[in-house]
Amino acid sequence: MTARGEASRFETLPYGVGRLTGGWALLVVALLALVGWGAYAYSCQFVEGKVVTGMRNIGTMGGATWGLYIAFNVYFAGVACAGITVAALIRLLNLNALRAVARMAELLTVITLILGAFSVLADLGQPLRALINLPLYARPQSPFFGTFTLAIAGFLFDSLVYLYLAGRRDAYLMARYDTPLRPLYRAWAAGYRDTPAERERHRKTTFWLAIAIIPLFITAHSTLGLVFGLQVGRPGWYSALQTPAFVVLAGVSGVGLLLVIAAILRGYLREEQRLGTGVFRWLGAFLLVLTLAYLYFVVVKVLTGFYAGHHHEQQLTQLLLWGAYAPVFWGSVLLLALPAGLLLLQAITGRWNIPALVACGVMVNLAAIGKRYLIVVPSQTHMSLLPYGPGFYAPTWVEYSIIVGLFALGALLYALFVKVFPIMDVPEEGVR
Amino acid sequence: MAKYAMVIDLERCVGCRACMEACKVENDTPQAVFWMYVFRFEEGRYPNTRVWFLPRPCMHCDNAPCVKVCPVGARYKRPDGLVATDWERCIGCRYCEVACPYGVNYFNWKAPEKNYYLDWKDRDLGPVTHGATPPYKNPDLEKPYGPERRRIAGGGHLKGVIEKCTFCVHRVEKGQTTACAQACPVFAIQFGDLEDPNSTVSRLLKKRPHFRLLEEAGTQPRVFYLGGHPPGGEVRQIEGVKARV
Amino acid sequence: MGVKLTRRTFLKGAAALTAFVALGRLLDGRLNTLVSTGPPSPSSAAGEQWVPTTCWIGKQDCGMLARVVDGRVVTLEGNPAHPRNRGTLCPKGVAQIMALYDPNRVKTPLIRTNEKGVPGRFRPASWEEALTLVAEKIKEVRAKDPKLILWQKGRSKGGAIYDDAFVKTIGATKVGHGTYCADAGLRAAEYTIGPRGGAHPDFRHTRYLLSWGWNLTNAGGNKLCFITWNQQFMEARERGMKVVHIDPRLRPAGPFADEWLPIRPGTDLALALALCHALIAQGTIDREYLKKYTNAPFLVKEDGLFLRVGDKEQVWDLKSKALKPFDAQDLDPALEGEFTVDGARVKPAFQLFKEHVARYTPEWAAEVCGLPAEQVRRVARELAENAMIGSTIVLEGVTLPYRPVSMMFYHMSQQELGFQACRAMFILFMLLGAIEAVGGVRVDFTWKVDSNYEALERVKVKDPPYDYTLKDSKFFPINSVNPGMIAKMMLDPQKYQVDKVPEMAILHMVNPVVSFTDQPLFLEAYKRFKFVVALDPWLSRTADLFADVVLPAATLEKYEGPLGATDQYTDATAFRLPVMEPLYQSKGELDIYLDLCEAAGLLYGKGGYLDHLNKELGLKDPYKLDLNAKPTVREIFDRWARSQGLAEGIAYFEKNGVWVKGPFSPKKYYGYAQSPPFGGIRHRLYGESLLRLQQEMQAKGAERVYWQDYTPFPTWREPTMWKSPPQYDLTLISYKMIEFKQSRSSQIPLLAELAPQQRLAMNPAAARARGIRDGDEVWVESHNALTGETRRVKVKVELTEAIRPDVVGMPHHYGEVARHPWAKGQGPTPNTLFFAGEGYVTNTNDNSFHVRVRVYKA
């Protein structure tokens, strides 16, 4: 077969699978470079110790011992929860309008869970020991165990299963074409036959899996919230509101990121039809509701902290409103309020504008990152119950590089997947 | 079974920080690590100022938040009351550090050999110290202790691992008192067994009013303070040691 | 085909992968991350010993036990048997273990190759070469005049072997550090009461304490240091002792002050006089004591001198209504009144005193001292109430006066009016009869009248040329010998009418350029020495800039002693014993001096070092040193121990560390318990000889600044520093920190870590008025009221509410004390801002640590 023949064969596959464009290659190279840089930064940290980061001990050292890595761990876990939830909701509630983004969402979950796992590993002082000692000695009573093991491992596993099972039918459809990727599709399809009975079984399995995954996601992200919410020793963390707020912000960031991804793919794959305004309208509506809900949490928290006599809560609130962390706080609030306003405007006028939606998606994610940072850091640098005095935390190039590397890794995995497997459901008729 | 506790007399403490230094030398802690710390406080406005001091070891809480959150059980509570850190098992997640309301945990941000104040590999010191870093390295710290035979004394200065006050477990198991109690020039720090009604700690607690730090956090500390009062919102720390790695 | 991806297979795969990775890590030797690592430590129980010794770093040689494992010192703990510290240690004592091993110690003798006044370029030399060079210089200068060798100590840790035996062998001039320490108070005590010391309480019995400038939480005090005083203080407090803290800062008293008198610096004299006034006005004075044991009843003529018949001072006996010699039997001498004898009007000294203090009311003092008058009155009342004048107590069968009021003062004596201020303070307690009574004020450990009691009375002002210490000069007839004045004199010998200036300096455990006030003065003066030898474990700043030869001294690795080990109540002696062989090529100071004397031909024979050692150590036959055989240091002390009756010799100390002889009997202890009380001397309320000296100084043409404080009664005048222009509106004071010892410890990393930087203590109100915030960098600029000279340093501010708003404070210990990585960048020493010389020195040649400054943002 000639190269042209191969190329022409890939031409027949839907959604650009197998077609490696120059732009795509350039993107992959750039992402690889960033990932490589992140890996280098991590190696520095591994060899020198965490002294290369900006983290330092709470207390006499006046630092924060959990910094960007944990903040982004929470962020990634949050995005992950949103992804699979959207996918599950689609299957559960039969939201055909959103069916196009189902796999995108599932993939988002899987990838961000991996990123979340890596960010925790990057944070550990003895990561190799962790890989051995966690399986050997893990204590269920520790919320950390809950998040790291339950959420990441269990949740990741279940999401993979879900992605796999939900994709079997499409794999089967893809296997009909004679391409070098056929063995992969056959393996994925694993004996799926496109009979009505099979299709029914497929639909039922994914339906029940979706039902199962919802409580799992709530538990997983709740334990992440409990990591913070149960700590009596950290004013600002110790709060019953912590966990529900976590869950809602997870939804905000996840849906926002999904919006961005959907818009990118819409443009890249030129799928204006399948990824039409209907899809974006739904996502936009979701985002609006979730953002408003989260802003409600923010207001309640600020009011409580401000009004309440409790010394530490007041101190923390002042710190956020006009203290050292005011820029990040107000920045994040603005990056939530502005999108909320934009989305409200679109909802009222009924005219949904995709670039505006993308902007909203980006903004709420930046806000989510800011808020995760604000949850993790100020309670350490400023809210010690013993009067050590205020501290500071300034991330270093190592931390930034690793985070950027993680984002690059996520984007890289996404880009690779898009070229290997259809990112949306393959329509019955096969070739587009 | 012994029930160890520490009693600190705030009506005696002169804030000299001998206990901090004694702890550092006994346990070979690296730079910027203060398992024992002493606050120097000031309250009020001139001329109605008040000055006082508060030593702060690990509280070895009966309801320790750090024990609850350790994912691998490296931080655990012994039957005799000591809250120990198994530095062979610690994975360096620092959850105990964020959970502790008292801020007593120290993470090893870098390899301690690079963090001991001076270059102890000096050629001329070799014949005497054989390169020991620090040169006063305590040989008792690397051994396992307790019936559980775990490495919980101060030998755990490894990069990427957490450490904190051990109530000098390696001394206690030899029948000695903690290094801080030994050094205190005015005998303000007492360590002993609450199960023994004649021990100094038992007698002091029976005789004098006392309190524990952050009582409202429910951690049930094993460190009691005689006299004085808990630091409220009005205290200011003066002469704070702000050493950083 | 197709692999059924089940949960089981997934887990299996993951486990295999993990194991593979772990194995790989194990094999590639990165054990650090999985298993603990490090070289096997030397065994403990087997090669372990506890070596008794004493602390090297501090003042009072606390007993220590060094834990040595396989020849390596692992920790230092207090020796429970030593009365001074009873098994505890202060932070310096603990941390000196790092000083012991410091690789920045001077490792070999050093000989300078470049000019002085700049950091030295030294070449390492052998001991032989270095000692030969120094010995030659000694011989050279001795040939001219041995007194031109100045032996300057900071601290010597073995008076008999260094201060006495060595100095006498060489014939050098010995200069101590006392004028920067507490000597003004010592002079006041010697002159007024008799024994040598500042003042400390009889802690076991006192119930009311004036903590007068006492740095309770950060430093030592009269005779003893931080640990001992604090242990006794705590017990006294637990027995109900009340504490009044008199100091511009509250910090030194910690939580222990029941009352704080935030006194304006330099006005302690005024407060003392006002308290005297109040006691007299209240009538609460111990008349019996004043009549029997002081010169209060001595009749004074109008010219200010005592009325004498023959050689005897006279009193007016109320019983016989006649003039009687003061030491006649069965007298009741008058304290008040006016009498006419042979047509001359005479008054008892006490009457004069009463008139003298009439204007020093508490209201007047409140104005001068910046204190509420009511506070002053209250203290006077409480002193009287607690003094229990007239009461007695029986101790070990001896009936003694019971006066449980006391004071503690020490370094605060070093201010311009310090000598008279301390006299006034002693007089205050004389009025209460609390001197050397049970529970009262004590000066020495046991009652011993110092030779200065007579000597200071008999000082005669000589004619020039003067000795370079200005001894017996018209400038400082009572002379604590001030290195700062020597330095000033070296820059202008003619002004002080000195014809021979010192040529060689031997620096023994001292760092003058940092430790002594007026740093620029010393930086200039030390250039004038022809030859400087420093004995020091580190390259101190002084040695770095000025030493021709540096001889590396050991720290804990030597024999030194005998060292007093008393805690005021128990008699004991201890030794410093070597915890290991001297590190690098260092040597103990005694070893160095033995070798040096040998090289200079001054070791053997009569008049040699060995001969003097025999005398000063009090060695008895048959243990005296053979004058023709060079002993080891251990041998010297072995002979000393045997001379004292210890059959095992020095081995006794090598085993036990301290020789506890037993408690002092009250009979030896209290001045009152002597037979006759106070050894028969009279306490000097009236300082007649001071008046006489004033007249002699005036006759010899001395300027007012030198004689103005030679008054028979302490008399208030405004400190010279108050003449500085009004923009210098703050007073700078200094103090000690518990973390450091003088200028030889801030390079020790364990300690420096606790307080790495100099800070200016300032009141927030004062800071706000100047636009200064906590942590700001400021200039502190001092002004010399007499010369107009200004100095300034840059330093960071630390705000505190525990200091007067018109006072700022800076501790000592900083100023880049040595060439050492940790000493760099620590910030300035306040000694750059303080002055030496006229206006900033007492009438007894003791230095003042006060100066007017202004502070502004940098």
Identify whether A126 is part of a domain. Answer: no
pLDDT score of B122: 92
C206 falls in which pLDDT band (50, 70, 90)? Answer: very high
Among candidates C37, C38, C754 on the partner chain, residue whose Cβ is nearest the Cβ of B17:
C754
The model's pLDDT over C462-481, given as tens digits with 9 standing for 90+, comes to 999 999 999 999 999 999 99
Q: How far apart, in whole angstroms, are the C-alpha atoms of residue B152 and residue B159?
A: 16
Q: How far apart, in whole angstroms, are the C-alpha atoms of residue A118 and residue A75?
A: 13
C12-51 residues touching A, CB cutoff 8 A? 18, 21-22, 25, 30, 33-34
Identify whether A352 is part of a domain. Answer: yes
Region C591-596: mean pLDDT is 97
Region C343-366: mean pLDDT is 97
pLDDT score of A425: 81
Region C61-78: mean pLDDT is 95
Number of domains in chain A: 1
Element (H, E) at B225: strand B223-226
pLDDT score of A167: 84
Region C533-542: mean pLDDT is 97
**What percent of chain C clears pLDDT 90, i.e. is strictly above it?**
93
Q: Is the pLDDT confidence value at C26 over 50? A: no
DSSP A205: H
Region C339-365: mean pLDDT is 96
Q: Is the pLDDT confidence value at C50 over 80? A: yes
Spatial neighbors of A263 by CB under 8 A, at least 6 apart, are A275, A280, A354, A355, A357, A358, A361
C-alpha separations of C256 from B238, C219, C247, C319 in Å: 17, 15, 13, 48
Task: Assess B126–A contact: CB distance below 8 Å, yes or no.
Answer: no
Q: Is the pLDDT confidence value at C41 over 70? A: no
pLDDT score of C24: 45
The chains found to touch B (3+ Cβ pairs under 8 angstroms) are A, C
pLDDT score of A200: 84
Q: Is the pLDDT confidence value at C37 over 70? A: no
Q: Is the pLDDT confidence value at B106 over 90? A: yes
C572: Cα within 13 Å, side-chain hemisphere: 26
How close C768 gets to chain A, by Cα (Å)? 21
The model's pLDDT over A299-308, given as tens digits with 9 standing for 90+, comes to 988 888 777 6
Q: How far apart, in whole angstroms, are the C-alpha atoms of residue C664 and residue C398?
A: 14
How close B189 gets to chain C, by Cα (Å)? 11
CA nearest to B114 within chain A: A48
pLDDT score of B220: 97
The model's pLDDT over B110-124, given as tens digits with 9 standing for 90+, comes to 998 899 999 999 999
Q: Do B237 and A389 touch (CB under 8 A)?
A: yes
Residue A136: burial class (beta carbons within 10 Å; 0-12, 13-18, 19+): exposed
CA nearest to B21 within chain C: C91
DSSP A100: G
pLDDT score of C505: 98
C11 falls in which pLDDT band (50, 70, 90)? Answer: low
Q: Is the pLDDT confidence value at C338 over 60? A: yes
Region B144-166: mean pLDDT is 92
pLDDT score of A242: 75
Strand C312-317 to strand C308-309: parallel, antiparallel, or no bridges (unpaired)? antiparallel
Q: Which of C318, C279, C321, C325 is nearest to C299 (CA)?
A: C325
pLDDT score of A243: 78
Size of interface B-C (CB pairs under 8 A): 193
ipTM reported for the complex, 2 dp: 0.97
> What class is the B4-238 domain?
alpha beta
pLDDT score of A236: 78
Q: Do B102 and A386 touch (CB under 8 A)?
A: yes
Domain boundary assignment for chain B:
4-238
Region C13-37: mean pLDDT is 44
Three-state secondary-structure class, residue C11: helix
The model's pLDDT over A88-101, given as tens digits with 9 standing for 90+, comes to 777 777 788 788 88
Q: Which residues of B185-199 are buried (b: 16+ CB within 10 A; e: fewer)?
A: bbbbbbbbbbeeeeb
Spatial neighbors of C238 by CB under 8 A, at least 6 apart, are none
Count other Cβ atoms within 10 Å, centred on residue A390: 13
Region B121-133: mean pLDDT is 91
Instruction: Please answer whether residues A101 and A89 qualify as being in contact, where contact means their C-beta atoms are separated by less than 8 angstroms.
Output: no
Identify whether A227 is part of a domain. Answer: no
User: Per mean pLDDT, which range of A168-177, B146-155, C623-632, C717-726 is the poorest?
Assistant: A168-177
**What percent of chain A clears pLDDT 90, i.e. is strictly above it?**
45
User: Per mean pLDDT, which range of A81-85, C572-576, C593-597 is the poorest?
Assistant: A81-85
**Could you write out the three-class secondary structure of C196-247?**
CCCEEECCCCCCEEEEECCCCCCCCCCCCCHHHHHHHHHHHHHCCCEEEEEC
A9 falls in which pLDDT band (50, 70, 90)? Answer: low
In C, which residues are within 8 Å of A132 by CB distance? 18, 22, 34
Instruction: Please answer whether residues C533 and C501 qualify as being in contact, where contact means their C-beta atoms are separated by less than 8 angstroms.
Output: no
| Tokens matching residue C481 | 């010998």
Region C625-646: mean pLDDT is 96
Identify whether A134 is part of a domain. Answer: no
Mean confidence (pLDDT) of chain A = 86
C357: Cα within 13 Å, side-chain hemisphere: 30
In B, which residues are within 8 Å of C255 by CB distance? 10-11, 50-53, 228
Region B166-191: mean pLDDT is 96
A8 falls in which pLDDT band (50, 70, 90)? Answer: low
Q: Which of C192, C273, C286, C201 is nearest to C237 (CA)?
A: C201
The model's pLDDT over C282-308, given as tens digits with 9 standing for 90+, comes to 999 999 999 999 999 999 999 999 999
In C, which residues are within 8 Å of B25 by CB distance? 75-76, 94-95, 97-98, 750
Q: Is the pLDDT confidence value at C690 over 60? A: yes
| Tokens matching residue C578 | 């070597």
Q: How far apart, in whole angstroms, are the C-alpha atoms of residue B230 and residue C255?
A: 14
C-alpha separations of A266 from A11, A284, A410 in Å: 18, 15, 19
The model's pLDDT over A316-348, given as tens digits with 9 standing for 90+, comes to 888 999 999 999 999 999 999 999 999 999 999
Task: Assess A175–C contact: CB distance below 8 Å, yes or no.
Answer: no
pLDDT score of C34: 39
Q: Is the pLDDT confidence value at C8 over 80? A: no
C83 falls in which pLDDT band (50, 70, 90)? Answer: very high
Range of the domain at A320: 233-385
In B, which residues are within 8 Å of C97 by CB distance? 25, 136
Q: Is the pLDDT confidence value at C549 over 60? A: yes
Is the CA virtual torsion C342, C348, C349, C354 positive or negative? negative
The model's pLDDT over C241-272, given as tens digits with 9 standing for 90+, comes to 999 999 999 999 999 999 999 999 999 999 99
Instruction: Please answer whether residues A201 and C16 qualify as being in contact, where contact means their C-beta atoms are separated by less than 8 angstroms.
Output: no
C16 falls in which pLDDT band (50, 70, 90)? Answer: low
How close C164 gets to chain B, by Cα (Å)? 33
pLDDT score of C20: 52
Identify whether A308 is part of a domain. Answer: yes
Instruction: Please answer whether residues A158 and A80 qualify as being in contact, where contact means their C-beta atoms are separated by less than 8 angstroms.
Output: no
CA nearest to A134 within chain C: C18
Task: Assess B106–A contact: CB distance below 8 Å, yes or no.
Answer: yes
pLDDT score of A222: 77
Cα C114–chain centre separation: 35
The model's pLDDT over C221-240, given as tens digits with 9 standing for 90+, comes to 899 999 999 999 999 999 99
Identify whether A169 is part of a domain. Answer: no
Q: Is the pLDDT confidence value at C830 over 90? A: yes
